[in-house]
Chains A and B, each alone.
Chain A
Amino acid sequence: MDETVAEYIRRTVLKMPRDEIKTMLQKWGFLSEAQLQTLNFHQIKDNISQEVVQLCEENSADIKQAAVLDIIYNHIYQNKRMWSVYQMKKSAEELEYFDITDFKKKFKGRLRSALKNVTITFREYEDNAIWIRVAWGTPYKKPNQYKPSYVVYHSQTPYVFISASVLKSNLPLLCQALIVASNYHDIREMELRSHSLNSLKDIVFKRYSQNFQTDYSKPLQGENVEPENADLRIVQENRSEKERIHRLNREVFGDGPQPKLEFAQYRLETMFKSDPKMDVLDKKEPFRCLVKFSSPHLLESLKSLAPAGMADAPLSPLLTCIPQKARNYFKIREKKGFNPESFVSP
C-alpha cells in the first residue's frame, strides 16, 4: 500500500472521536467484521489508527477507498465546514430523466480532460443527496488529499452546495463540470453561506415553517403570550402590547424552528448623511461600511429580540427577509426612497 495512502487513512482516523471510530469503519465497509473485531478501541487513538492502517495494508487499500472514508467522516461532521450555495439554470424547461451513471461519467470526463491529477469520489445518500469529493492536483503534482472540495447535489433540484477547499482557483472548473454533467447551462453563486448544511437546504428547499399572512385581528382564544409567572399579585400593564409583539413575531418568523445561520453581512455603499454645516463627507462620496451580525443561531436570536424587549417590533425587513430571499450577504446601494428590493448581487 502506498505510504501516502497509509498516512492519509491514519490521519483521517485520528480526526474521529474515539467512540465513533468503530461505527464509521463499519459504514465504510472496507474492513471485514472479523477484522474490526480484532481492533482494540479502548487504547489511545494513536494506537487505534496504527492498527487500522495495518488492516488496510492487509486489504491493499488505495486512495479511492481512503477517499470514501473521508467522505463518510465529512458527511457526519458536515457542520464543521463552511458551505456556499450555488444555483444552476436550465436553458429550457425540459424534464430530463436524471441518470446517475451518466452524471458521474460526464463529471469525471469534464474534470479529467482539464486536469489529469484529480481524485474524484462519489457517494449517494438516502435523501437523494449525491456527495462528491474532489482532491486537486496540478499537471505536475499529485492531488492534495488534505484540501479537497466537497459538493452536495440533490439531483431533483437546481441547487448545489459546495464546500470549497482553500485552493479557490479550481472553483470555475468545478462549476463547469457540474453544469456539463447535470445538463444545465449556467451556474451562479448565491449570497448564502453557513456551516449548517441542513439549514441551507431548509432555506432553499423552503422546508422551514414560513409565515402566512392570516387575519389576526381577533386575538386567538387561549393564546399564551409567554409562560408567565402564575403569581396573580403581578399585574402586567402592557399585556396587549406584548400580545401584539408576539403576534407580529409569529407572522414574520412562523412557528417552527428557524434555519441555523451564523451571520448576516450588509455591505453599505450609501451616502453619508450628516448636517451639511459639519462638512463631514456629506453626500460627497459613498460611505463604505460593513455591518455584520454574528450569532451561534442568528435567526433564533433575531426572533427573540422583540419579545425580550431589546428591539422594537416589527424588526427591519432587512433582517427578516433572510430566509425568504435565501441570502445572508447583502449590498445596499443608494436608491431614491430606500427600497429593500433594490439589492443587487455582485
Chain B
Amino acid sequence: MPGKLKAKIVAGRHLPVMDRASDLTDAFVEVKFGNTTFKTDVYPKCLNPQWNSEWFKFEVDDEDLQDEPLQITVLDHDTYSANDAIGKVYIDIDPLLCSEAASVISGWFPIYDTIHGIRGEINVLVKVDLFNDLNRFRQSSCGVKFFCTTSIPLCYRAAMVHGFVEELVVNEDPEYQWIDRIRTPRASNEARQRLISLMSGELQRKIGLKVLEMGGNAVVGYLQCFDLEGESGIVVRAIGTACTLDKLSAGANANAYTHPNTAPASNACNSPSKDSKEPVFSEDPPTALGPLTPLRVLPSSSPPPFSSSKPCSRQSSSSDTDLSLTPKMGMGSGGSVGKEAGPLKMLLRQQTQTALEQREFPFFTLTCFPPGFLVHVGGVVSARSVKLLDRIHNPALGNPRPYKLLDWNSVTADEPETRDAWWEEIRQEIKSHAKALGCHAVVGYSESTSICEEVCILSAAGTAAILNPRYMREGCLDIGSGDHSCGFCHIPYDELNMPFPAQLTYCYQCRRQKVPDVLFTTIDLPTEAAVSGKGCLIQARLCRLKKKAQGEVNATSISNLLPFMEYELHTQLMNKLKLRSMNALFGLRIQISIGENMLLGLASATGVYLSALPTPGGIQIAGKASGDLSNEQHVLSIQKRINDAMAKNKEMYHINPPELSEEAAGSPIPEPKQRSRLFRSQSESSDELSELDLSHGKKDAFVLEIDDTDAVEDIHSLLTDAPPPAGFYSCNTEVMPGVYNWTSGLQMFTSVRVLRLSNANLTNQSLNKIFTDMCENLLKSLYFKLRSMIPCCLCHVNFTVAVPEDELIQVAVTAVAMSFDKEPILEKLGDRANEDQLQFPMELCAESASVAISNLTAKFTATSVDYGSFADRCSTWLELIRLKAHTIRRGSVKTSRRTQSLGRSRSLRSTRSSGGGGGGTAVTVVKMTPLSFLPGTRLIKYLGIINMFFIRETTSLREEGGVSGFLHTFIAEVFAMVRAHVAALGGNAVVSYSMKECVFMENPNKNQAQCLINVSGDAVVFVRDTDQEATPTLIHTSCGGTDGPT
C-alpha cells in the first residue's frame, strides 16, 4: 500500500442546461480511480454547483498511480431515467509522484465530452501521500522525471548521459472490438481515450524502470507516439535519453553561469548538501541519487533494459511481414552505406573503448547538447522499412475475437514481440550506417510511422556523430569546450577511405582539419557554431502517384517508390540550399506519408551558412547540346534568374562569408571553388549512387539540364518558392541562427489545411505543383496572420502531412512566432531605451528605469570582452553559451555588433515583458511554445510531462460550422485543456509543446466527423528576467490563489 491518493471536488461553473423544463441542472460527480468510485451529493438546480465534497481517499499501489489516470465524471441526476453524463476530466497524477515537480493539483478543469466538447468547468483538488517503502522500485518507477525537451532542461545539469531507452506496449483498439457495434460512439471514444491514457502511463512506468536500472533519474527528449493500426490494434511506443540530472539551485545556477569552466566538480555534481534540499524520498537519499549509488546493486525483478538476446534474424522467417527492403535498396535510401561497413571498420579506431561501444544502441534523442559533448558530426543516417500489419497478439486480452475467423489469427499467435523486432531491425540498420560514417553514436534520433490500411512505413533518422566519452562516465563535468567552434564540422571518417565521394577541404576556420562541402544533420545548430548571416526554412515537397493495391503487392510498390522519393527530396533540398548560398542543413526531418493512391514526401530543415564550410558554388543551367538559338536564350534567361535569386538571397539572409584575406593566408586550401559538384549527401550516398553522381561530377559543376523533365520540375520548384515577406524569418530548429534579441512577444499556433483533389487524371507533375502550392500558400497565410508581430521569426515550424482519404491531402503546422528586436545599432540605444520607457509608462516605472540603466552599462561593457557582467542576469544556459560563442567569434570576425545587440535585447525584452502578460484575470495566462525556452524568462521549475490524447466526434457537422468549425473548436479545446492542466499544476507555461497526432476523418454525407489529437510538452514555472528574487513558492501560491475556488 504505498500510496494514498486524495481528491476533493470543490465546485462547478458554466455547466450546460440539462433539464429543459427548468433550464437548470442537478449535477453530481463521480470520482474514479482504478476500480474504486466515489460520488458527491447531487447539487440540485444549479449551473454553478458548490459541492465542496469531503476528501475522497484511494489507497493504491504506486504502480497503479503511475498507470491510471484519475477519472472525474460530471453527471446530471435524473430521478426517472438514467443519469445523463455531462462530461469527463482525466487527470494524470504522475507529476505528483515526483517530489521535485508539483505537490498539489488544484484548479479549474474543462469538463470534456467527446461529442459535445467542453461543457463547463470543474474545480478539483488532488494530492498524493507516498509512503516510504523499501521495495518501492520493484514495479514502479516513481520519481523518474520525464522531459519532452530535447536538450538538457534549463535549471538542470547533466551529471551523466546514460543513453537510449525505448519501450512499446500494444493493445486492441476498442474502436475495432465487437462490442463497438452495440455501444454508443461516446462510450467507444471514452474507452479509447482511457485505454490510451492507461497505455501511456504503463509505458512511462516501464521506461522509468529501465532508467533506474541504468542508474539514471530522468528521461530527456521523451518522444511518445501512437500507431493506430486499425484492426491490428494500437501501439504506443516511446523513445528517450536516460540521464542523471542534478537540479541547479538558484544560487548554484548563477554560480555556474559565472564560472562555467572553473566550477568545482563537487559543486554541481553530487554534493549532498545540495541534493538534500530536494528530498526525492527523504529516508533513502542514496537510492534517489542515482549517480552516487548505482542502482544495479538493488535486487531487480524486471528484465534487463535491452533484451539483446532477441535475434534480428528471427524476423526474416515470417515471410509475409518481411518486406523491409531498405537494406537492399540501391539508391537514395539511407541504408546502403551499411554494406560498406566491412572495409570501414578500421575507421572505428580511436573510440573503441568508450562506453558507447558497449551499448546496443548508442542513440540520443537530444538535439542540443552541453558544450563539448558533440565532437564531430558525420551526417544524416536514416532507415525506412515497409511492413504489412498483422493483428497484435496480446495475451492480456485473452481469446481472439470470436466473430473474426480470418486465417491470420493462427499465424500471429506466437509473435508478441513483432513490433519490437521491427524497430530493433531498423535501429540496427541505423547503427551500422553510423558506423560506416566512422561514428559511434547517433544524435537527434527520432522514429516515426505512416500507416495506410494494412501497410506501414517505419522510419528512423538521426545524425551520426562522435561524442565526447567523458559524458558517458560517472562524475564527468562541464567540459571546457576549448575554442573549436568548428570542431563538429570536421569529418569523423577517414579521408582516404571515405564512405562516399565528397569534396573535402581544410576547415575554413581552423585550417587544420578536413570538412565536407555540405553538411546535413537532424540536430539543432550547436551553440558554438559560427554562422554567417541568418538561417531559413528549406522545404522539399514531393508527390508520387501509385496504383491502388492490396497487401503484399501494395507494400512492394511502395517500397519500390521510396528510394526515388528520397532521392528527389534530397536533390530538391540540395538545389534549394545552393540557391540560398548556404552550406548546411539543421533539424532535417523527412516525412513520407502513404495514401491509397499516392505517396507524399515532405522534407523540412533549416539552412545556414557555416563559416567553417566552403562557400557553395553556383548552379549552372545547361541545355542538352543543341545549336538551337532560342533554346540557348531560354537557358540563358533561366541562368540569369537563378543567379539573380542567389544574389538576392545572399542579401536577404545577410550572408557575408569572411573570405577576403583568408584565401591567401590559408596554405592548405585547394584552389577556390567556383562551383560545387552535385553529390548525394554525406550520409545517404551509396555505391550505385556514387557512380551516378560521378557522371554528374565529371562536369565539375552543379548542372541542371533543362531538357530533362525532372530538371524542369526542379527549376520550377526552385524558382516558385516565394521568400518570406520583409520582416519575417522562419526555421524549424530551436532558434534562428543569426537572431538573438528576442522580445517576449510570443504566439504559438496550429494550422491545419485539407485539400480535396479533383477527380481529373492527375500526373505526378500537376500533383507536385498542387502540393507545393498548398504548402507555400499555407506559409503565406501564416505570414499574413502574424504580420502584427513583425519583425518576427517563425521558429520550430513543424509540418506534418497525411493522406486521410483517397483524394485528400492534409497538412498541419505547429510553430511559434517570436518577435525580436531589429535594431542592433549602437547609437540608437539610448533613445530606444527611453522610448521603451515611454511605451510602458504604467508598469513599474522604477523598474524600467533601472532596466534602462543596465541597458547602457551593457552597451559599454560589450566592447570589452567581459561577459561576466551579463552572466548574473543570464537567464538560461543556452544564452550563456550563445554569449560565449559570440565572444569566441569576436576574436576573428566582425561580430561585436551582435554582441551589443544581445546585451540590448535583454533589457528591451525585460521592459516588454512587463507590458505583455495579462494580470488581473481570474484565469492564469499559460504560454505555450514548441521551443525549450521562453525568451526573456528563467524557467525555475519543471512540473512534469503533459501528454494528452483526445477524441472528438460529431454527428451534426453542419450545425457546428462544417469541418473547419468542428476542427477549429476542437483544437481550441485541446489548447484550453492543456492550459488548464498546467495551471492546476501551478505552472504558467508549456515548453517543448508538440502536436504528435492529428487524425481527421469526415463523412459529410452523414453529417459526421471525428478527430483524434495527441499533444505533449513540459509544464513549467517561469519568472521574468526582471523579477530577480521571485521564488518558486511565491509563484506557486499566486497561481493557486488566482485559480482557487471563490
Q: Do A and B come from one complex?
A: no
Question: Residues of B with Cβ closer than 8 Å to A?
Answer: none
